[in-house]
Chains A and B, each alone.
Chain A
Amino acid sequence: MIELEGLTKRYGEKVAVNDLTCTVRPGVITGFLGPNGAGKSTTMRMVLGLDRPTAGDVRIDGRHYDRLKDPLTYVGALLEAKAWHGGRSAYNHLLCLAQSNGIPARRVREVLDTVGLTAVARKKTKGFSLGMGQRLGIAGALLGDPRILMFDEPVNGLDPEGIHWIRNLMKSLAAQGRTVFVSSHLMSEMALTADHLIVIGQGRLLADSSMADFIAQNSRSRVRIRTPQRERLLDVLQGAGITVVDPGAEVLEVDGDKSEAIGELAARYRVVLHELSPQRSSLEEAFMRLTAGSVEYHAHDGPPSGPRERPGPRQQWGSEWRKG
């Protein structure tokens, strides 16, 4: 279990992590989601004691990280790619980590086998591809057979096969009752792996809930309607007290889960419908709506020299998010 309490990190004027309080629990995959630059990596570095919090506290099973004896046997972490000496072989890299925490050398061969790097174990790591590097980082995280695993953007730059592998690995680790804390800036990735979500934006906690609750709370359901008799349908809907979002639009939309009511109304008043479909906004949309106010850099649709556009739903969220 990882407990964050009022965790705050300032770099001069800039607040990277702002009064973050939450708990990462065992047995489930907790997704740590936020736009790039939201403070995810900084938070993870503070969990490991690499960065010192400006204020607040973070505890691993009730203790500070630097009070853990042989910390790799408590927490395994995949930090940003390539946190090792490229001139050292994969085997020796893992061996020196193992020795520092009293882990037997046999375990090095086991984790190399688990991540599929046995064949290149004696090769210098500077020749490794991005995917091999991620595998080596994961091998390092698994080395101490820890109860808590932390992965910072594990799928970054991986091919589909690698992404699939990491996803399954995380699921099996959580199924074994371990705490799995994984960061990502991709909602779609989290939707496929995480059971619980912690969302931050500009260092502040925006959501801390189960994936199911998050979807229910943050996605809006709508009904999409196309009809050749739009004026008539608008009258019917108005008569029934149903509000259309934008009566001028070509495709009509109605807020809420009202497709059955609308279908029955259309049948009763003999309005022809070409489409009547319940829509559930995607998680990506929910995430964007949630973090809309906290994205550091917005991109705008309009021409660069044109008048400033008012921020609106047509913005291309995320296209210029800073890597963090």
Chain B
Amino acid sequence: MSTAAQVVRSEWTKIRSVASTVWTLSLALVVTVALGMLISALAKNEFGGMGVRDRLSFDPTFISFAGTGLGQLAMIVFGVLVVANEYSTGMIRTSLAAVPQRGTFLFSKIAVATVLALVVGMATSVLAFFLGQAMLGDLGASIGDPGVLRAVVGGGLYMTLIAVFSMGVAAMLRSPMLSLAVLMPFFFLISNILANVSATEKIGRFLPDQAGSRVMEVVTPIGDDTPYGPWGGLGIMVLWVIAALAGGYAVLKRRDA
């Protein structure tokens, strides 16, 4: 068996044998779906009182993904712990003694975690959509409507990419606490503020989560002048992820373990 295949098997054993994998991923799913359902139910009640403009911008698909903002934090924790726990526990020395090819080690680990995040991300997205639409009742969208399938697939990809981005950042910072202290406030607060304050709006919308979440929108809000489309936005997010992974690899390659 090739070294890479051996290391992938080993990383699968690692990831399935710690409790944090289960609780972070199930939290991501439950929070995203439950919050999406709650906000969908609230949106249905408020629809009657909305103005014409708001009704034209009403995007039932995007509303069902409203829990993503909070649920993604659990995905960030998952991504951070998968990588940074190697450092905080001292396991990294054992791991690199077993697999001295550092690129093989890092990317096998990230590949395994990414596949797992993708499975959970897709399940989350599909559940969030259908249960959200059930809450919205006759206001809901159908999976066959234009752009809806793209948004549901995109929602799963978004959750996955957030986790992979966090893995890259954790590989650069090498500490779970530091990584979480940087990523959590950034994605929960700072990115939203930058994207919604007019002075920083033009920069803010190129941040990974702001650009990436565009893929979950089906109805473009009136007056929107975002310079990229849904896949363009996801592409910007992919570039961020590649940059984070390259940074993480460079740090692992260069530093002593």
Contacts and interface: CB of A to CB of B under 8 A. Distances in A.
B257 interface: yes
A226 interface: no
A49 B6 contact: no
A69 interface: yes
Centre residue among B20, B89, B98 by max chain A CB count within 10 A: B98
A45 B256 contact: yes
User: In the complex, which range does the number of interface residues on chain B fall in?
Assistant: 20 to 34
Contacts of A79: 93-94, 97
A1 B11 CA distance: 30
Contacts of A49: 96-97, 100
Contact of B11 (A71, A86, A96): A96
Q: Name the prevailing secondary structure of the B interface residues.
A: helix
A97 interface: yes
Given A96-B14, A97-B10, A71 B100 contact: yes
A323 to B, nearest CB: 15
A100 B7 contact: yes
A50 interface: yes
B55 interface: no
Contact of B93 (A69, A83, A92): A83
B257 A71 contact: no
A100 B99 contact: yes
Nearest to A88: B17
A106 to B, nearest CB: 15
Contacts of A45: 93, 256-257
Contact of B94 (A69, A70, A84, A102): A84
A65 interface: yes
B120 to A, nearest CB: 19
A111 B7 CA distance: 21
A259 interface: no
Contacts of B86: 85
A213 B96 CA distance: 37
A88 B14 contact: yes
Contacts of B95: 100
A87 B99 contact: no
Interface string A91-116: 01001110111100000000000000
Interface of B: 1, 3, 6-7, 9-11, 13-14, 17-20, 85-86, 89-91, 93-101, 256-257
Enumerate the 10 nearest inter-chain pairs by beta-carbon distance, A residue then B residue, closest first: A100-B10, A66-B100, A92-B17, A99-B10, A96-B13, A51-B256, A83-B90, A50-B257, A99-B9, A85-B89
26 contacts: A48-B93, A48-B97, A49-B97, A50-B256, A51-B257, A65-B100, A68-B100, A70-B3, A80-B90, A83-B89, A83-B90, A84-B90, A84-B91, A84-B94, A85-B14, A85-B85, A85-B89, A88-B18, A92-B14, A95-B17, A96-B10, A96-B11, A97-B98, A99-B9, A99-B10, A100-B10
Interface of A: 45, 48-52, 65-66, 68-72, 75, 77, 79-80, 82-89, 92, 95-97, 99-102, 140
Given A92-B14, A101-B6, 6 more contacts: A48-B96, A72-B98, A82-B90, A83-B93, A96-B14, A102-B1
